[in-house]
Each structure stands twice: as structure tokens, then as C-alpha cells.
């Protein structure tokens, strides 16, 4: 209510002829749906570089006008991690500074070079760390390695030279969630963001008077999405919008407590317009989905207790680290480096787990599911293939510390500084892991 009041107050003061960010404070800018038009478009003085009357030189630059961290910062001390920043100060010489669960896009600018143990000069490109959105104003360029989305599979793939924030997010925020959990682009008005644990609960019948809706999670695109700036052959159509709830504070380091985004699935029949996380990713990466390449890819959207390998949820709950693979407890086993999708249809169930103070650390139960985001971040990470952990080396830690240049195997160090490791693991001390921690694949497989 306070933010709505602010919206009205400022909009009124801005006047009818004012064009620009005549909205509320920036946090309430989107308000779960289409924002004030002038925040992104300029009616009379747009950028000369694009044809959509945008303020930015391109679509993603327009987003980053507000979502790029504008101040200097050191990842270890930058305590003003504004919730809405998704891109920080990462570069060839500086460590990214933002810690949203999706990841800081500037990891795609941070590459590494080292001489491997055979004496061969080796590199890990920044581009390999995430989705290479194009935002020329902010020095984000086209993916140099992939012409289309990797493992496109059943479709022609999404062209890398078109990838922008609005490839995945609907900038106009038309997708909305109703009281029954279904998603549509029309119906009851959106009254607020639906992304947070504190988001209001939508009410009424979607198409009857007095009903209310909230925005789809993170303005993600859904069924029938067809962005104006890129029209794929046959349309860039998602199977629906996936379910999730984020804690109210989420852009933070996890030094003392984890940030838990509660991801959802609904194996027993999702409401209209809703899909699973992995199905949603498969829009562009269809060949990676186990439904398409059955037996050839790691399963997704599958219950953890339905694996041919046994009940993997039990392994997840028992696993603490390499040094203790059986001593865990299902009430405290959650690890944000290996999240899972709760097979819960109710958003209230997700909201209860969307915490940032370790008050909800319960692990998976029975048919909770593995998904793409169990291993990958959505935007970018400090590791190759935007994995949540370093999966390029046998060991994550060496003698209770992150690998150290000049001391440990250079192929474990991979050109990284101590700050790189700490930032990539969101502020975690190496002691959280085992003395000689192996890959976090073992959280579900315990082969270490």
C-alpha cells in the first residue's frame, strides 16, 4: 500500500506531459507488470541506435540502465547490493559484485588464463560462464562460441546475436498469476509482483470483477510469447511460466546464511499456463531435455525418488560433504548450490521455504524434482557452463581451502584468485565444504 501511494503521488507530481521514469521508487517500477512506459521508452528523444524508442542502445542496455550496479565496489565489502542489480563490476581484472540467485552477468566478462600442469597455456573464457546477453552500452557482446543456443535439439536454436533480457523476460510483464495458480496474459489486473514471499495472494475468479492477479515470477515469458524485437520462425513460444518464490532479500552473499529460492513443479497437473523449469529452458535448449533425448542426457523434471539409481532424495538429505556423506538430516540438508523443485502445487508452500536466514533448510521429499537449475544458474556463474560449482576439476577444495595459485595443482586453481572462489561460491568459506571436497554432483549421487 505504501508503494502504491508513492506511485500515485509521484505520477501526479510528474504531470501528464512528463515522459520518463514518472513512477514510484525504482523498486516498485515494474510492480509485477508493465511499468511506466517512459522508464524504458522515450517518445521524443530515444536512443538513435534502436528502432523501439528505447532509452538504451539495445533492449538489454535499456534494462541495465537500472539493473547494472553503477558504483564502484569490492565484492567482499560491497554491502549495498541493491536487489535489482543483475550485473556488477566484473571484468578481466575485477571480481563480480552481485549475488542474486540467477547470477551476476558480469561473470561473462571475467575470463581466466593459466599454464596447466603439462605446461600448456590454457584459458577459460568469460563467455563460457553464462548467457551472453547483448548489451552494447555495457560492453556485453554476442556469444563468441555459439551461433545458436547450445544443444537446440528439436528446433533451429535461438540465435546468439539476438539474445537479450527480453528473450526470457517479458518486458511488458503481461503474464499474471491468478488465485488458482494459473497463468494468462489477460484477466484480473496485476496488483503487485508475484515473485516474493511477501507478495500478495491473488484473489477471485480471474475473469470476474474484483479479482486480482500478481505478476508471473520475474516477468518470465510464457505461452504465446513473441517478442517484437525477435520473431523466431513459428514464434518463440514457451510451454508456460515456471513456478518459484524468492525471499524478499535475495541479492546477498551467503556467508552466514543461505538464500533459498523455492522452485516449484507440479507433476500431478499444473494449472493452465504453468510449466516446469526444465521445460521452460528447453524452449531454446530442447536437445538437453531428457524428454527429447531420453537416455542421452541427465534426467530433468523427474522425481528424485524415481531414479533407476534409487531414492536420490535420501542421498541428498544424508549428504553433508565429501568428509561426511551420510550424517545429514532432512530438516537441514538444503544447499542453495544444488536446489531442487518442490513438487508442490501451492504457492504458499513455496513461500514458506523462500527464506534468507536459514529458517527453512529442509531437503527434498520423495517426488521433488531435479531440474536444470539444480546445477546451473539462470544468468551466469563463476564457473564454466554457468554451473553453480566448479565441475572442471576433481577437487573443489584442497586441504580445507580453495585451490591456491603457486601451491596447488594449476588445473584445480584454473587461474582464479581467492576472491574469485569466494565470490563464485557467494561468500562461502571453503570450510563449509569437505577438506578435499569433490564435485557437488555428489550431493545427489554420493560417489565420493
Partner 1 sequence: METARGKKTYGAVLLAGMAALLWLGSPALGKGLFQERYLYNLSGLSGVLPTSWATLAMDEERDETFVIYHNEVVIFNSQGMEVFRFGDGRDYGGVLCADAGKGGDLLLLSYREGRPVVLRCDYRGEPREEIFLRGLPEELADFAPNRLIYHNEQLYLGSQGGMQIVICKPDGSYVKGFDLYEHLGLDRDERDEMEFNGFRLDRDGNILFTIPFIFKAYIMAPDGKFRAFGSPGGAPGRFNVVAGMVADSHGNYLIADKLKCAVLVFDRNLKFVKEFGYRGPGPENMTIPNDLAIDNQDRIYVSQGAGRGVSVFALTHGDSSAKGGAAGLSQQKGGKDSG
User: What residue ranges bind partner 1 (CB under 8 A)?
Assistant: 10, 13-15, 17-23, 25-27, 38-39, 42-43, 45-49, 55, 57, 61, 65-66, 70-74, 76-84, 91-95, 136-139, 248-249, 251, 419
Closest separation between CB of residue 330 and partner 1, Å?
Answer: 31
Closest separation between CB of residue 61 and partner 1, Å?
Answer: 8
Q: Which is nearer to partner 1, 79 or 268 (CB)?
A: 79
Closest separation between CB of residue 30 and partner 1, Å?
Answer: 13
Q: Which is nearer to partner 1, 178 or 250 (CB)?
A: 250
**Positive or negative: CA dihedral 313, 319, 322, 327:** negative
- Residue 94 cell numbers, joined: 575485477
Closest separation between CB of residue 174 and partner 1, Å?
Answer: 23
- From the list 100, 130, 94, 126, the residue with the least C-alpha distance to 426 is 100
How many whole angstroms separate alpha carbon 245 and alpha carbon 261? Answer: 6
Q: Which is nearer to partner 1, 16 or 296 (CB)?
A: 16
How many whole angstroms separate alpha carbon 218 and alpha carbon 171? Answer: 10
Closest separation between CB of residue 93 and partner 1, Å?
Answer: 4
Q: Which is nearer to partner 1, 15 or 269 (CB)?
A: 15
Q: Which is nearer to partner 1, 10 or 292 (CB)?
A: 10
Residue 183 backbone phi and psi in degrees, to 5: -125, 140
User: Chain-centre distance of CA 409, in angstroms?
Assistant: 31
Query: In three state form, how does the secondary structure of the chain look?
Result: CHHHHHHHHHHHHHCCCCCCCCCCCHHHCCCCCCCCHHHCECCCCCCCCCCCCECCCCHHHHHHHHHECCCCCCCCCCCCCCCCCCECCCCCCCCCCCCCCCCCHHHHHCCEEEECCCCCEEEECHHHHECCCCEHHHCECCCCCCCECCCCCCCCCCEHHHCCHHHHECCCCCCEECCCCCEECCCCCECCCCCECCCCCCECCCCCCCCEEEECHHHECCCCCCCCCCCCCCCCCCCCECEEEECCCCCCCCCCCCCCCEEECCCCCCCCCECCHHHHHHHHHHHHCCCCCCCCCCCCCEEHHHECCECHHHHHHHCCECCECCCCCCCCCCCCCCCCEECCCCHHHHHHHCCCCCCCCCCCCCCCEECHHHCECCCECCCHHHECCCCCCCECCECCECCCCCCCCHHHHCCCCHHHHHHHCCCCCHHHCCCCCECCCHHHHCCC
Q: Which is nearer to partner 1, 47 or 149 (CB)?
A: 47
Q: Which is nearer to partner 1, 389 or 426 (CB)?
A: 426
Closest separation between CB of residue 77 and partner 1, Å?
Answer: 4
Closest separation between CB of residue 37 and partner 1, Å?
Answer: 10
Closest separation between CB of residue 366 and partner 1, Å?
Answer: 35
Q: Which is nearer to partner 1, 42 or 293 (CB)?
A: 42
Closest separation between CB of residue 138 and partner 1, Å?
Answer: 6
Closest separation between CB of residue 106 and partner 1, Å?
Answer: 11
- Residue 75 cell numbers, joined: 565484492
Q: Which is nearer to partner 1, 39 or 240 (CB)?
A: 39
Closest separation between CB of residue 90 and partner 1, Å?
Answer: 10
Q: Which is nearer to partner 1, 196 or 217 (CB)?
A: 196
Q: Which is nearer to partner 1, 52 or 436 (CB)?
A: 52
Amino acid at each position: 500500500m505504501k508503494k502504491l501511494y508513492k506511485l500515485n503521488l509521484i505520477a501526479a507530481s510528474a504531470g501528464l506531459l512528463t515522459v520518463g521514469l514518472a513512477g514510484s521508487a525504482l523498486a516498485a517500477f515494474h510492480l509485477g507488470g508493465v511499468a511506466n512506459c517512459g522508464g524504458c521508452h522515450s517518445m521524443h528523444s530515444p536512443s538513435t541506435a534502436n528502432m523501439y524508442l528505447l532509452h538504451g542502445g539495445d533492449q538489454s542496455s535499456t534494462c541495465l540502465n537500472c539493473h547494472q550496479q553503477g558504483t564502484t565496489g569490492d565484492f567482499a565489502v560491497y554491502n549495498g547490493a541493491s536487489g535489482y542489480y543483475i550485473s556488477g563490476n566484473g571484468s578481466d581484472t575485477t571480481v563480480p559484485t552481485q549475488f542474486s540467485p540467477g547470477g551476476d552477468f558480469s561473470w561473462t566478462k571475467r575470463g581466466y588464463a593459466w599454464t596447466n600442469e603439462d605446461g600448456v597455456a590454457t584459458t577459460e573464457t568469460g563467455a563460457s560462464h553464462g548467457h551472453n546477453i547483448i548489451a552494447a552500452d555495457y560492453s556485453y557482446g554476442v556469444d563468441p562460441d555459439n551461433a545458436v543456443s547450445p544443444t537446440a535439439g528439436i528446433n533451429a536454436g535461438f540465435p546468439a546475436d539476438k539474445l537479450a533480457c527480453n528473450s526470457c523476460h517479458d518486458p511488458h510483464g503481461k503474464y499474471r498469476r491468478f488465485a488458482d495458480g494459473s497463468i494468462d496474459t489477460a484477466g484480473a489486473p496485476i496488483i503487485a509482483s508475484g515473485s516474493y514471499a511477501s507478495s500478495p495472494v491473488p484473489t477471485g475468479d480471474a475473469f470476474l470483477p474484483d479479482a486480482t492477479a500478481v505478476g508471473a515470477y520475474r516477468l518470465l515469458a510464457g505461452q504465446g510469447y513473441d517478442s517484437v524485437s525477435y520473431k523466431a520462425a513459428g514464434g518463440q513460444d514457451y510451454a508456460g511460466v515456471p513456478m518459484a518464490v524468492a525471499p524478499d532479500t535475495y541479492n546477498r552473499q551467503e556467508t552466514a546464511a543461505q538464500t533459498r529460492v523455492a522452485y516449484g513443479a507440479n507433476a500431478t497437473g499444473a494449472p493452465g499456463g504453468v510449466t516446469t523449469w526444465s521445460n521452460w529452458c528447453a524452449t531454446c535448449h530442447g536437445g538437453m531435455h531428457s524428454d527429447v533425448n531420453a537416455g542421452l542426457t541427465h534426467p530433468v523434471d523427474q522425481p528424485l525418488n524415481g531414479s533407476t539409481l534409487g531414492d536420490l532424495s535420501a542421498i541428498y538429505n544424508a549428504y553433508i560433504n565429501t568428509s561426511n556423506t551420510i550424517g545429514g538430516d532432512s530438516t537441514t540438508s538444503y544447499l542453495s548450490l544444488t536446489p531442487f523443485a518442490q513438487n508442490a502445487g501451492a504457492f504458499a508452500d513455496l513461500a514458506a521455504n523462500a527464506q534468507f536466514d536459514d529458517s527453512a533448510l529442509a531437503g527434498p521429499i520423495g517426488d521433488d524434482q531435479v531440474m536444470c537449475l539444480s546445477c546451473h544458474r539462470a544468468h551466469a556463474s563463476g564457473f564454466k557452463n554457468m554451473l553453480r560449482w566448479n565441475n572442471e576439476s576433481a577437487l573443489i577444495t584442497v586441504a580445507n581451502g580453495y585451490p591456491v595459485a603457486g601451491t596447488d595443482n594449476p588445473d584445480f586453481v584454473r587461474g582464479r584468485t581467492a576472491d574469485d572462489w569466494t565470490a563464485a561460491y557467494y561468500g562461502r568459506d571453503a570450510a563449509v565444504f569437505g577438506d578435499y571436497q569433490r564435485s557437488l554432483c555428489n550431493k545427489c549421487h554420493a560417489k565420493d
